């Protein structure tokens, strides 16, 4: 995948407020902010068309981005994105700075592989989660978490504790104590199967 997808060029934004943001959007610009780390928050603007294209790639949201701001390279991740309710338009983006040696919290997608194995066994695969919050150092940030269903039997549910996290990665929910071992995926019996197997009286 091209590194250009993960590199953005931004301008420093000094004109703040709702009115200024509306003007920027009319000029095909997106107001944004970069915060976190040991540096003060910085307001920036991005080209809407380029940002819209970049964010269409799933890995954009779970990758460390390089934002060029006035000649300075800033490493950051997407923390929040505000969209128009029905138009393909991005209204605002929050970026969080990434600093080497400092743990970051972010959300990455879950990729399920070998789902057809469950179907071959007569099961129906049901996703309980499609993304998961993780904590890790920047160098350990995975693009996604992979869950292999090839050996999951019908009637079995995999929880977070059943999923092997990549080296250096922690599932945030599991640090919150009892009751947070969330179901990730199930291979269920098809509807009506139990009734069919029950002998008639």
The per-residue DSSP string of 35-62 comes to E-TTS--EEEEEEHHHHHHHTTSGGGGG
Position 201 in a domain? no
Domain boundary among 99, 130, 154: 99
Domain boundary among 99, 127, 149: 99
Q: Are residues 111 and 128 in the same domain?
A: yes
Position 135 in a domain? yes
- Mean pLDDT, residues 61-83 taken together: 93
Closest CA to 32 of 85, 98, 82, 89: 82
Domain boundary among 99, 122, 153: 99
Position 153 in a domain? yes
pLDDT of residue 2 exceeding 90, the answer is no
Kindly list the distances between the CA atom of residue 131 and the CA atoms of 24, 58, 107, in Å, as whole numbers in the listed order: 32, 11, 7
Q: What is the CATH number for 95? A: 2.40.240.10
- DSSP symbols for 56-96: TSGGGGGS-EEEEETTEEEEEEEEEEEE-SSSS-EEEEEEE
pLDDT of residue 104 exceeding 90, the answer is yes
Q: Are residues 117 and 190 in the same domain?
A: yes
Question: Does pTM top 0.75 for this prediction?
Answer: yes
Position 66 in a domain? yes
Q: Are residues 72 and 152 in the same domain?
A: no
Handedness of CA 45, 51, 54, 58 (dihedral sign): positive
Q: How far is CA 55 from the centre of its chain?
A: 11
Residue pointed to by tokens 């945030």: 172
Q: Are residues 175 and 132 in the same domain?
A: yes
- How would residue 5 be classed by pLDDT, with cut points 50, 70 and 90? confident
Overall number of domains in the chain: 2
Residue pointed to by tokens 């080497």: 100
Kindly list the distances between the CA atom of residue 97 and the CA atoms of 56, 75, 103, in Å, as whole numbers in the listed order: 21, 6, 11
pLDDT of residue 111 exceeding 80, the answer is yes
Closest CA to 176 of 127, 135, 144, 142: 135
- How would residue 196 be classed by pLDDT, with cut points 50, 70 and 90? very low
Sheet holding 156-159, edge to edge: 124-127, 183-188, 156-159
DSSP state of 190: P
The domain in which residue 58 lies consists of: 3-99
Q: What is the CATH number for 155? A: 2.170.120.20
């Amino acid at each position: 995948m091209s590194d250009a997808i993960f590199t953005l060029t931004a301008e420093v934004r000094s004109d703040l407020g709702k009115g200024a943001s509306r003007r920027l959007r009319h000029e095909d610009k997106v107001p944004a902010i970069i915060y976190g780390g040991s540096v003060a928050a910085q307001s920036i603007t991005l080209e809407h068309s380029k940002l819209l294209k970049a964010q269409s790639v799933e890995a954009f949201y779970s990758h460390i981005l390089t934002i060029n701001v006035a000649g300075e390279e800033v490493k950051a991740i997407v923390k929040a994105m505000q969209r128009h309710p029905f138009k393909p338009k991005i209204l605002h983006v929050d970026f969080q700075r990434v600093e080497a040696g400092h743990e970051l919290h972010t959300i990455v997608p879950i990729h399920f592989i070998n789902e057809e194995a469950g179907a071959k066994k007569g099961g129906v695969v049901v996703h309980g989660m499609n993304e998961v919050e993780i904590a890790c150092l920047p160098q350990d940030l995975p693009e996604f978490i992979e869950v292999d269903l090839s050996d999951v039997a019908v009637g079995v549910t995999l929880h977070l504790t059943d999923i092997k996290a990549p080296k250096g990665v922690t599932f945030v929910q599991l640090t919150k104590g009892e009751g947070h071992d969330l179901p990730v995926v199930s291979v269920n019996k098809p509807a009506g199967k139990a009734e069919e197997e029950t002998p008639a009286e």
